[in-house]
Amino acid sequence: MEMALLILSIILIALVLLQGNKASDAGQIMTGGNTELFQVQKERGVELFISRLTFVVGAAFMVIAFLIMFMA
């Protein structure tokens, strides 16, 4: 179980790093330089797949972590 948790954690870190930085220009809120910050932007293609895969791997990570906690 611990090995599965380790593997899932490495995969989760890689998936998070692969995602696009949606808040990269959040510092421009004060200056008003980012007009597209609050517009609805749909994820498509690979971004959508990576986002959903991150959610699934994160949920699996939490389930295995809780199982390890309750078994100990």
Residue at 7 is within a domain: yes
6-65 per-position pLDDT tens digit: 999 999 999 999 987 665 555 555 565 555 555 666 778 888 899 999 999 999 999 999
Range of the domain at 3: 1-18+43-72
Residue at 68 is within a domain: yes
pLDDT, position 21: 66
Residue at 35 is within a domain: no
Residue at 33 is within a domain: no
Residue at 36 is within a domain: no
SS3 1: coil
pLDDT, position 35: 58
Buried b (16+ CB within 10 A) or exposed e, 7-23: ebeebbeebeeeeeeee
For the chain, how many structural domains are there in total?
1
pLDDT, position 29: 56
Residue at 23 is within a domain: no
